[in-house]
Amino acid sequence: MQEFLQQLVNGVAWGSIYSLIALGYTMVYGVLRLINFAHGDVYMVGAYAGLFSALWLRAGTEPSLGKALLVLLFAMAVCALLGVVIERAAYRPVRRHPRLTSLITAIGVSLLLENLGIVVFGARPRAFPEIVRSQRLELGSIVIGSHQFLVLGVALILMLLLQLIVHRTRIGKAMRAVSFNADAARLMGIPTDSVIAFTFALGSALAAAAGVLVGLYLPRVDPLMGLIPGLKAFVAAVLGGIGNIPGAMVGGLVMGIAETMVVAYLAPTYRDAIAFALLILILLFRPTGLLGKREVEKV
Amino acid sequence: MSAGIRFLRLLAIFGGILGLGTLLPRAVNPYLMQIITLSGINIILAVSLNLINGFTGQFSIGHAGFMAVGAYLSAAFTFYLGRDGVAALAAAGVPEGVAVSGFLLAGLILGGLAAALSGLLVGLPTLRLRGDYLAIATLGFGEIIRVILLNIDAVGGARGFADIPPWSNLTWVLVWSAVTIGVAWNLVHSTHGRAFISVREDEIAAEALGIDTTRYKVVAFVLGAFFAGVAGGLFGHYLAYLHTNSFTFIKSIEVVIMVVLGGMGSITGSVLAAIVLTALPEVLRPVREYRMVIYSLLLIVLMITRPQGLFGTRELGLGRLGRRLRDLSVAR
Amino acid sequence: MRFLIQPTVGGAGWCAGVALLFVAVAGCGGGGNAEEVLIGGYMGLTGDVATFGEATQNGIVMAIDEINAAGGIGGKKLRVRIEDDQGRSEEAATVVRKLISQDGVIAVLGDIPSSNSLAAAPICQAAGVPMITPSSTNPKVTQTGDYIFRVCFIDDFQGTVMAKFAYEHKNIRKAAILRDVRSDYSVGLADYFISTFTKLGGTIVADQSYSRGDTEFRPQLTSLKGAKPEAIFVPGYYNDVGLIVRQARELGIEEPLLGGDGWDSPELFALGQESLRNTYFSNHYSTEDQSPAVQRFLQAYKARFNAVPDALAALGYDAAQFLAAGLRRLHEEDAAAFTKLAGAARAGDQGRAQARAKLRDLLAGIRGLEGVTGSISVDENRNAVKPAVVLAVKSSGYEYVTTIEP
């Protein structure tokens, strides 16, 4: 039983990382109906931005809460900018083209980021500095690393902040309007281009946070680290209902727990397959996701 | 087109293939041979994917999964039964070359059929899905197939399948390329082809006009998967080594890029793009660091400036002569 | 008949481009200096275990330069061309084929992970090109054929080393395994450890696995912890081991962690940091060895590369020296055959293939070659029989613990 609880903790911590990345996917899909394949690689860039700022601030050798926070904010800022740039340069020109074209463009951006990462950062995996010292908390025989708490905590705070922005601010209202019906929103005077850019910035910032947290949690980064987690996070977003923000959070947690349980109790080599198996199941039986609304296709 | 002309044309193609297959290995070094052979395999992949993506408009990015099924099944067949089978046949007086070819052919067909079956299994559930969802679902299926194969120890499991009988060569690849192109071409230029295209253009209208869109979508998947499986079998028997690392969704995306570059809906486009994109990485090997960066930039620029690819939906024809031939074949 | 090419200029342009490409690729490669003997090398210079390839390359290059500086062999210089296979087995097969057919090398050095060597060995065997792996330890590699050699010990032995160390030196009776199912090396080593450990009287309380490249091991570690082992054997590669050790300590696993030569990399410290306390692994040599061969190698390597050489570098050096020893003997016994190995390959040149066959025979007969990693004698399976050292990992280096003889 103790072991099961420990595994649950493992799953929830891991799942919250998926949630953070999934949020970006779901928000962008909501406003643009685009699967931003490059999102996983934005997460990677966030991890590296965190890595370099941590090295520069010497946050690994002389850690402090302030420095850790700075590292996180820096990474989020860098990726927010990156997200806006990608949207402007690669996605906006193809916005009026068929969806397929946008999808392939997204794949192209993803490949570009990965390979630029290899060229610039080197393909070698690197150790992420320990910007927060790890402590062990023991509750009975369950040992929770402080990192697991941290990951959960930061993810929750960010998600709460996101909910606040989306539901309590004007820009959030604009985002919701654009995701409901972009043309009507524009007719109502909402600057859709700016709103879309903001959405990208927000989603990318969250991915960056996930990257920094993962750097701390694992602690390893490499240029291809965004590939598989990106896909799984997308599945998580679909699981929860694509376009649905609480859905992404739930989907991420479900994904994390499912994966952990499969690895712990079934076979570790099926870890990647579980994500896609879940995807197929959800697409077959409840395509709008766990929390999604039914969409009618108009002819 | 009269039977006479058709027969002559087939003879010419067959002769050309045999000629190339026997002369090229002597004239050209093995490394270049590898590139040419792999181009041929990629041609089969690209054309078969074009059937699904280009002509039927079903965006599938799980093609590597079908390739993997065909590769592993045919390799397992020849690995476990082939060598002994050939020896047994040799003892019975059958010349080795014939026995080897027979077993390889059987293996390839079996692999293709298995891949076709998996195409059916993928095509059926995804019928209701559109666009993005379909793409991700096919991606998911491709990955699931790969992970399942990764866990089967009898075919090497996580460490790879070594020592596969190296029986395939350029001739085999060329023959199957020709078959694939031939089947695709004839299918597309028939009434069935029009049905596929109608599914791509407007599925709801097609359904309203009485076309069984379900059937055509499934057929596209099954056919495309069959040839992908054959390509996989040729691949495995050429490298004599298989690892699931060769069949990740990155491989699927590479095939998609070939189809997109060539033009979704152009068979000749797929053929040319397959050749170019197989040779390009090798040529860029000296600058291999930047090769993938250049590649991906090219893709983005292509999508922004010329999303229909090289040939769009047109074929590289022979001008008036080509058009006349096509008209003749349709009027059959 | 007029043949018109209908579509765009772009289409025609592409066709021309394709033709040019083929001409360009066809023109590449081949060529060779008649005063040089060309040796090939294939290893992962990039990829997840890149330090293996880099260190091995350093060792090889240093050896070749030393030999050339002393006048080469038989008046000819040695040249080595090393291709990067990114640490992937499919790439290994491809680059080896290129080295043999396109570049015309007379022998091949590589690879380090056994999976890659297994992919490439059949190609070398079929082509009659001797292949010497510096550090692939899985027995299956040399079983491929008689042209395949290795200068390191094999995992039957290495598995027993750590089993004996755990049982006899550390008095461990209950052990758990965490193996990498993606590599032949890890799976083989784990199996040999298990068989020796149980034969000595110990029990394996848990056996978990992961895939090379995984990053999150907490599920498996939590499960292992539940079985309450006295030690965990992790026969993987350093890039995963670093994370495993970190995460294990975080979860409260303080028991000793044991491993094999796949741990050996300067990157291990960067990844593992203080979590590396109480860990041990088996390796091919120790820098604390005072023998002249080792000390000389240490000085030369440090002077040239400004780093302490790990076992991979030492084995790379020894592999190159091993090949050179074979070449020297060939020149002594059959100078005509030796000259056949120099310069470029000509199509249908039987003499070259025969010279390679002679080289193979001489390599198989090498006994008592003094290497950095010990005395190299190849047995009837073309494996080197050598002792192993056990090293403890400290904060900035390794500490020699003991030697285990075969």
Tens digits of residue pLDDT in B35-83: 889 999 999 999 999 999 888 888 889 999 999 999 999 999 999 988 8
Q: What is the structure's pLDDT at C28? A: 45
* Interface touch A6/C222, C-beta < 8 Å: yes
Tell me the two tokens of residue B192.
């069935």
Tens digits of residue pLDDT in C226-284: 999 999 999 999 999 999 999 999 888 999 999 999 999 988 988 888 889 999 999 99
- Which residues of chain C does CATH 3.40.50.2300 include? 36-153+292-387, 155-283
pLDDT at C27 over 50: no
CA distances from C366 to C136, C284, C326, C362 (A): 19, 19, 8, 7
* Interface touch C6/B322, C-beta < 8 Å: yes
ipTM: 0.86
Q: How high is the mean pLDDT of chain A?
A: 88
C108 and C356 in contact (C-beta within 8 Å)? no
pLDDT at A159 over 90: no
Q: Residue A92: which domain range?
A: 16-226
Question: Residue B62 carries which side chain, given as an amino acid letter?
Answer: G
Q: What is the structure's pLDDT at B260? A: 87
* Domain-embedded: residue A65: yes
Q: What is the structure's pLDDT at C30? A: 47
Distance separating alpha carbons of residues C164 and C28, to the nearest angstrom = 53
Q: What percent of chain A has pLDDT over 90?
A: 42
Q: Which residues are CB-neighbours of A266 under 8 A, at least 6 positions away?
A: none
Q: What is the structure's pLDDT at C20? A: 52
- Per CB-CB distance under 8 Å, the chain B contacts of C88 are 245
Q: What is the structure's pLDDT at B331? A: 47
Q: Choose between A98 and C58: higher pLDDT.
A: C58
- Per CB-CB distance under 8 Å, the chain A contacts of C219 are 7, 10-11, 260-261, 263-264, 268
pLDDT at A298 over 80: no
* Interface touch C90/B246, C-beta < 8 Å: yes
Q: Choose between A79 and A279: higher pLDDT.
A: A79
Residue A295 pLDDT level (bands cut at 50, 70, 90): low
The count of CB pairs under 8 A between chains B and C is 105
Arch. (CATH architecture) of C155-283: 3-Layer(aba) Sandwich (3.40)
The count of CB pairs under 8 A between chains A and C is 83
Q: What does the H/E/C string look like for chain A?
A: CHHHHHHHHHHHHHHHHHHHHHHHHHHHHHHHCCCCCCHHHHHHHHHHHHHHHHHHHCCCCCCCHHHHHHHHHHHHHHHHHHHHHHHHHHHHHHCCCCHHHHHHHHHHHHHHHHHHHHHHHCCCCEECCCCCCCCEEEECCEEEEHHHHHHHHHHHHHHHHHHHHHHHCHHHHHHHHHHHCHHHHHHCCCCHHHHHHHHHHHHHHHHHHHHHHHHHHCCEECCCCCHHHHHHHHHHHHHHCCCCHHHHHHHHHHHHHHHHHHHHHCCHHHHHHHHHHHHHHHHHHCCCCCCCCCCCCCC
Chain C: touching chains (3 or more CB pairs < 8 Å): A, B
Of B30, B159, B314, the CB nearest to C115: B159
* Domain-embedded: residue A148: yes
Across-strand partners of C376? Answer: C369
For helices A65-86 and A39-57, angle between their N-to-C axes, nearest 10 degrees? 140
Q: What is the structure's pLDDT at A63? A: 80
Lowest-confidence pick of A40-49, A220-229, C168-177, C229-238: A220-229
Sign of the Cα torsion A62, A68, A73, A79 reads: positive
Helix (H) or strand (E) holding C176: strand C174-180
Tens digits of residue pLDDT in B234-286: 999 988 888 888 898 888 988 988 998 888 888 999 999 999 888 887 777 77
Lowest-confidence pick of A113-117, B27-31, B104-108: B27-31
Question: DSSP strand E in C47-166: where?
Answer: 77-84, 108-109, 131-133, 148-150
Query: Which residue in A87, A115, A297 has the most chain B C-beta atoms within 10 A of its own C-beta, making it the best mutation to test that interface?
Result: A115
pLDDT at C25 over 50: no
pLDDT at C18 over 50: no
CA distances from C316 to C56, C61, C66, C67, C333 (A): 4, 9, 14, 14, 26
* Interface touch B143/A272, C-beta < 8 Å: yes
Buried b (16+ CB within 10 A) or exposed e, C67-97: beeeebbbebbbbbebbbbbbbbbbbbbbbb
Residue C323 pLDDT level (bands cut at 50, 70, 90): very high
Lowest-confidence pick of A72-86, B295-309, C192-206, C296-310: B295-309
Lowest-confidence pick of A7-11, A38-42, A123-127, C382-386: A123-127
C299 and C175 in contact (C-beta within 8 Å)? no
Distance separating alpha carbons of residues C376 and C158, to the nearest angstrom = 16
Distance separating alpha carbons of residues A187 and A182, to the nearest angstrom = 9
Nearest alpha-carbon partner for B189 in B13, B313, B309, B42: B313
* Interface touch A100/B59, C-beta < 8 Å: yes
Average of pLDDT values for A78-82? 96
Instruction: Using a cut of 0.95, tell me whether the model's pTM lies above it.
Output: no
Tell me the two tokens of residue C275.
């979590």
pLDDT at C31 over 60: no
pLDDT at B151 over 90: no
Helix (H) or strand (E) holding C222: helix C218-226
Lowest-confidence pick of A139-143, B61-65, B118-122: A139-143
Residue A112 pLDDT level (bands cut at 50, 70, 90): very high
Residue A137 pLDDT level (bands cut at 50, 70, 90): confident
Tens digits of residue pLDDT in A173-232: 999 898 888 889 989 999 999 999 999 999 999 999 999 999 989 888 989 899 889 989
- Per CB-CB distance under 8 Å, the chain A contacts of B296 are 108-112, 115
- Per CB-CB distance under 8 Å, the chain B contacts of C123 are 240
Average of pLDDT values for C88-110? 86
Distance separating alpha carbons of residues B145 and B225, to the nearest angstrom = 13
C215 by DSSP, 3-state: which?
coil
* Interface touch B293/A115, C-beta < 8 Å: yes
Residue B111 pLDDT level (bands cut at 50, 70, 90): very high
Q: What is the structure's pLDDT at A233? A: 92
* Domain-embedded: residue A276: no
Q: Which residues are CB-neighbours of A27 under 8 A, at least 6 positions away?
A: A175, A199, A202, A203, A245
Strand A126-127 with A220-221, pairing: antiparallel
Q: What is the structure's pLDDT at C189? A: 93
C78 and C68 in contact (C-beta within 8 Å)? yes
Average of pLDDT values for B307-314? 79
Residue B317 pLDDT level (bands cut at 50, 70, 90): low
Tens digits of residue pLDDT in C203-234: 999 999 998 888 899 999 999 999 999 999 99
Cβ atoms within 10 A of the Cβ of B201, count? 10
Q: Choose between B226 and C18: higher pLDDT.
A: B226
Q: Measured between CA atoms, how close is B298 to chain C, in angstroms? A: 14
Of B28, B311, B319, the CB nearest to C26: B28
Across-strand partners of C41? Answer: C82, C109
Q: Measured between CA atoms, how close is B185 to chain A, in angstroms? A: 24
- Per CB-CB distance under 8 Å, the chain C contacts of A118 are 46
Lowest-confidence pick of A14-28, C4-18, C259-273, C385-399: C4-18
| Chain B interface with A: residues with Cβ < 8 Å | 59, 125-126, 128-133, 135-137, 139-141, 143-144, 147-148, 150-151, 158, 204, 249, 253, 256-257, 260, 289-290, 292-293, 295-297, 299-300, 303-304, 307
* Interface touch C22/B245, C-beta < 8 Å: no
Instruction: Give me the domains of chain B, ranges plus CATH numbers.
Output: 3-330 (1.10.3470)
Across-strand partners of A138? Answer: A143
Q: What is the structure's pLDDT at B233? A: 95
C37 by DSSP, 3-state: which?
strand
DSSP B57-104: ------HHHHHHHHHHHHHHHIIIIIHHHHHHHHHTT--HHHHHHHHH
Output the CA torsion A34→B126→A291→A294 (10° steps): 90
Q: Measured between CA atoms, how close is B62 to chain A, in angstroms? A: 12
Q: How high is the mean pLDDT of chain B?
A: 84
Tens digits of residue pLDDT in C35-93: 889 999 999 988 778 889 999 999 999 999 999 999 888 888 999 999 988 888 878 88
Q: What is the structure's pLDDT at C75? A: 86
Q: What is the structure's pLDDT at A191? A: 92
- What's the structural domain count of chain A? 1
Distance separating alpha carbons of residues B41 and B20, to the nearest angstrom = 16
Average of pLDDT values for B118-136? 83
Q: Measured between CA atoms, how close is A171 to chain C, in angstroms? A: 37
In B, minimum Cα distance to C212 occurs at: B158
* Interface touch C6/B245, C-beta < 8 Å: no
Q: Measured between CA atoms, how close is B208 to chain C, in angstroms? A: 34
CATH superfamily of C36-153+292-387: Response regulator (3.40.50.2300)
Q: What is the structure's pLDDT at B130? A: 74
Q: What is the structure's pLDDT at B13? A: 81
* Interface touch B239/C90, C-beta < 8 Å: yes
CA distances from A16 to A10, A47, A227, B203, C222 (A): 10, 16, 17, 39, 19
Average of pLDDT values for C290-302? 92
Residue C32 pLDDT level (bands cut at 50, 70, 90): low
